[in-house]
Amino acid sequence: MITPDSFSKLNSVKKDEQNVHYLRKFIFWTIVKILIVIILFLASLIYIKRSDKNKEAYERIVYNNSLSFAKVYNVYKEYLGDVIPFKNTLNDNTKLVSDEKITYEKIIKENSGYMLSVSNSYLAPAIKSGIVIKVDEKSSYKTMITIQDKSGLNITYGCLDNINVKLYDYVSKGEILGTADKKLYLIFEKDDKYLSYEEYL
């Protein structure tokens, strides 16, 4: 005869078995993801080491901004899930982050982007989260940083000083990129087309 006490013990045992099953499944897929990343990394190293021609091709693809991190991220996420399943526990609380949107007094079209009139020593926040895909310190707009979000939108921030990020850093929305003195230059680009600022500011 099954008593209420034995029934609750049976349920408890089933829940424990389910938890162990889910834990094993999580560990298995985490190991699979890590192994895939290691294989891809080793394959890249082998490709580079085979010849100077391969090395030049790799540098051209990866470092000259023709590689779309958004596409790589979306393919990885579709087949393997998020890159780091527990990324919220790894947040760096030492980063300077602002909840405010970009504030400016005036905006004018300039070349492919827009020049914003801002205050002295303005703390420039990231408009969207993404990966730093380019840092150009020799631009006519002082230091320029390009951040690509997961949709493939590139936002370039120019006229920056005191940079807080480096190439291939992941940047959260609102994270302070650096300072701008009276001028902040912005370019919005997606699929090789320059976009208007209205949707993003």
Q: How far is 185 from 113, CA to CA, in rounded Å?
A: 7
Q: Name the more confident of 141 and 74.
A: 141
Please tell me the least confidently modeled range out of 12-21, 41-50, 155-164, 183-192. 12-21
Q: How far apart are CA 175 and CA 129, in angstroms?
A: 8
Asked if residues 196 and 188 have their Cβ atoms less than 8 Å apart, the reply is yes
* Arithmetic mean of pLDDT, 122-144: 91
Count how many residues are written for the chain: 201
Higher pLDDT, 65 or 122: 122
Q: So what's the pLDDT on residue 81?
A: 63
C-alpha torsion 18→19→21→23, nearest 10: 160
Q: What is the pLDDT of residues 40-82, one digit of tens each?
A: 888 888 888 888 888 787 777 665 555 567 666 666 666 666 5
Of residues 32 and 11, the one with the higher pLDDT is: 32
CATH code of the domain made up of 106-194 = 2.70.70.10
Residue-range domain boundaries for the chain: 4-64, 106-194
Distance CA 79, CA 92 (A): 27
Contacts of 13 (CB under 8 A, 6+ apart): none
Cβ atoms of 9 and 2 within 8 Å: the answer is: no
pTM of the model: 0.62
Reading the block at residue 127, the tokens are: 């408009």
